[in-house]
Amino acid sequence: MKLTVTVIAVLVAVASAAVADMRQVRLDSGLTLIALADSWSDISAVSVMVDAGSRYDPDERGGLAQLTNEMLFEGTRNATWEEIVDDLDGLSIRHGALTSEDFAELYLTAHETEFDTAIAWLAEFISRPAFDEGRLDLEKETALRLLEGEMNHAFTRNYHSLSGLLFHGHPYSRPVLGTPESIRAATRGEIVSFYEQHYGASNTIVVAVGDFDTEKMLARLEVLFADYPDREVARRETARAESGEPSELDVYSDGEDGFIEIGFLGPEIDSDDYAATQVMISVLGDGPGSRLADRFGACGSAKQSVAGAFVSVRSEGVRLVAYASSDDIDATFHALNDEFEGIRAVAVSDVELEQAKSRIATRLALRMETSKDKASAIARRHLLGLQSNFRETHFERLESVTADDVQRVGRTYLVNPATVIERPGKPPRRGI
């Protein structure tokens, strides 16, 4: 117990220091710029995160958010893709684009000696994209390969189905990548329209993290992003998905083992219940020592190759997911539900409670090791509307979670599940 308290206390101190070293300015255009001085590494990072995730995709046109974000790296009005590659060749600069249901992110990392070049290029990418037709064709091919890979993996293909059940009728019910049909049908005009409707100063955060003077960095960012569009962006107001009646979907595959995923709607991320829900899920299925790992790892005749549970955070609430694969999928289904009932019925032990807190604290610390991790986390918290001291407050809430809290959130949120069961073989023939 003392070790866990010490780890969390250190994380609280680190989070407090980070807030103290952070400077923020909101420009007249509405663009928010944030600089965090961090001397722990000579690699600096800049993240540009936009409230333009796949929940803004038009109905039946899934994948536009993903394609638009990826296309921002594919050439600008001032430089072709080939010219960009030539200019960056031999430098330490690394880049990436990430799209979720909520947000679209572009990021660059670079050695501190080349960081000014990196942020200049990132400002160019997002402010003056060309959306070249030939590069779009290549991005569509890449998206189709990624989607094929997801559908060839039991966890991700069933996760798509689970989201459809859990968020029926809600934008979160759609895959971020879209469908093969919507990807192939996407046009340059639709990409340009999505960018013009959803990329603007008022819904964008720019975060730089590195070993620099924060005031000078903010001044530099203001100059570089001066041409970023200052326009009214389209907002999509969606009601928070509510837990409905339990739902179940049976599908069939050619594999030897079955696969099952069970999902629940959880609390808001800024809720007092969020920390307790994290602890509950860690007790349930967060790696070695968790209940699912212990139960399935010591199972009798059934062969479980994987089992676990996790929390997925979204702007409109948290989703809770448990999963397992097995050659006896019906027995596994009942075993998972036994574990849910165990959480609801009996308070967790002190040992389980402390082990769960320790796992969470360690994982959170590892996730904030790099400048890129820190930049992305800061940008995401701001777009989620969380306070600058959220991380510090969350660690304190985590430390105070009790066994009664875990049982209470189990009874509150482990209800009305959505279930996807993938069975090996062909579906049974139905009589007339």
pLDDT tens per residue, range 358-368: 999 888 877 77
Please state the φ and ψ torsions of residue 107, each to the nearest 5 degrees: -145, 155
Q: Please indicate whether residue 144 or residue 41 has the higher confidence score (pLDDT).
A: 144
Q: Residue 325's pLDDT is what?
A: 87
Q: Residue 40's pLDDT is what?
A: 84
Q: Residue 300's pLDDT is what?
A: 44
Q: Is the distance from CB of 329 to CB of 256 less than 8 angstroms? A: no
- What is the model's pTM? 0.89
Q: For residues 416-421, give the mean pLDDT.
A: 94
The dihedral built from the CA positions of residue 114, 120, 225 and 314, taken in this order, carries a sign that is: negative
Q: Which CATH architecture has domain 247-424?
A: 2-Layer Sandwich (3.30)
pLDDT at 317 over 90: no
* Per-domain residue ranges of the chain: 31-224, 247-424
Q: Residue 237's pLDDT is what?
A: 65
Q: For residues 90-95, give the mean pLDDT.
A: 90
| Mean pLDDT score across all residues of the chain | 89
CA dihedral 46, 373, 11, 212 (to 10 degrees): -20
pLDDT at 297 over 90: no
User: How many Cα atoms occupy the beta-carbon half-sphere of 205 within 13 Å?
Assistant: 23
pLDDT tens digits, one per residue of 375-406: 999 999 999 988 888 888 888 999 999 999 99
Q: Residue 12's pLDDT is what?
A: 47
Could you tell me whether strands 43-50 and 204-210 are parallel, antiparallel, or unpaired per DSSP bridges? antiparallel
pLDDT at 104 over 90: yes
Q: Angle 390-400/350-366 helices, nearest 10 degrees?
A: 160
Strand partners, 315: none
pLDDT at 343 over 80: yes
pLDDT tens digits, one per residue of 148-166: 999 999 999 999 999 999 9
Q: Residue 208's pLDDT is what?
A: 97
pLDDT at 70 over 60: yes
Show the CA angle centred on residue 330, arms to residues 329 and 333, nearest 5°: 85
Q: Residue 17's pLDDT is what?
A: 47
* Percent of the chain whose pLDDT exceeds 90: 66
- Give the chain's end-to-end CA distance (angstroms, integer): 62
pLDDT tens digits, one per residue of 10-63: 554 454 445 557 999 999 999 999 999 998 889 999 999 999 999 999 988 899
Residue 239 banded pLDDT, cuts 50, 70, 90: low
Third-level CATH fold of 31-224: Cytochrome Bc1 Complex; Chain A, domain 1 (3.30.830)
Q: Do domains 31-224 and 247-424 have the same CATH topology?
A: yes
Query: What gap in Å lies between CA 199 and CA 126, rounded to an integer?
Result: 9
Quickly count: other Cβ atoms within 10 Å of residue 87's Cβ: 13
Nearest-Å Rg of the Cα atoms of the chain is 23
Q: Residue 20's pLDDT is what?
A: 55
Q: Residue 430's pLDDT is what?
A: 60
Query: What gap in Å lies between CA 270 and CA 238, rounded to an integer?
Result: 18
Residue 301 banded pLDDT, cuts 50, 70, 90: very low
| 3-state SS track over the chain | CHHHHHHHHHHHHHHHHHHHCEEEEECCCCCEEEEEECCCCCEEEEEEEECCCHHHCCCCCCCHHHHHHHHCCCCECCCCHHHHHHHHCCCCCEEEEEECCCCEEEEEEEEHHHHHHHHHHHHHHHHCECCCHHHHHHHHHHHHHHHHHHHCCHHHHHHHHHHHHHCCCCHHHCCCCCCHHHHHHCCHHHHHHHHHHHCCHHHEEEEEEECCCHHHHHHHHHHHCCCCCCCCCCCCCCCCCCCCCCEEEEEEECCCCEEEEEEEECCCCCCCHHHHHHHHHHHHHCCCCCHHHHHHHCCCCCCCCEEEEEEEEECCEEEEEEEEEECCHHHHHHHHHHHHHHHHHCCCCHHHHHHHHHHHHHHHHHCCCCHHHHHHHHHHHHHCCCCCCHHHHHHHHHHHCCHHHHHHHHHHHCCCCEEEEEEECCCCCCCC
pLDDT at 184 over 90: yes
Query: What gap in Å lies between CA 98 and CA 49, rounded to an integer?
Result: 9
